[in-house]
Amino acid sequence: MNYYEIWVNLRESHKDMEFSKAVHGYMEHLRGRGVIEHWRLTRRKFGFGPPGLGEFHISIACRDLAQLDAAFGVVATRAGEVERLHHPVYSMVTDFTSALYRDFPDAERVVPTV
């Protein structure tokens, strides 16, 4: 599994529930199209965490890089339903940081026997 990790802060912190609803609609749309497997939205608790990472964390799981590429292909259209759902999410955020992680060891990894 590959995980596209996103950390953000909100431009207006009082819109936290509006942000949560927008992320839910957007991610469920992508999941419904089969371009992501699952997702999760979490929020930093008690201010604990590295200062360079945002208060909110979105973790998006994809089977492989081909599925992630398909997701980016859908989002890159910037048109229709996907844009209607994407706009409220990205318009509320600032301090965007992202990373790509994978399960380890990879399923393809050859592990020598001793």
What residue ranges define each of the domains in the chain, with the CATH number in brackets? 2-102 (3.30.70.100)
Which is nearest to 71 in space by CA: 20, 23, 25, 29? 29
What's residue 113's pLDDT? Answer: 84
Report yes or no: 60 and 8 within 8 Å, Cβ to Cβ. Answer: no
**Integer Cα distance of 31 and 73 in angstroms:** 14
- The structure's pTM equals 0.92
Q: Given the DSSP bridges, would you call strands 56-62 and 38-43 parallel, antiparallel or unpaired?
A: antiparallel
Provide the phi-psi class of 94: left if phi over 0, else alpha when psi is between -120 and 50, else beta: beta
Task: Give 10-residue mean pLDDT values along the chain (114 residues).
Answer: 97 97 98 98 94 95 97 96 97 97 89 82
Question: Which amino acid is located at 63 in the chain?
Answer: R
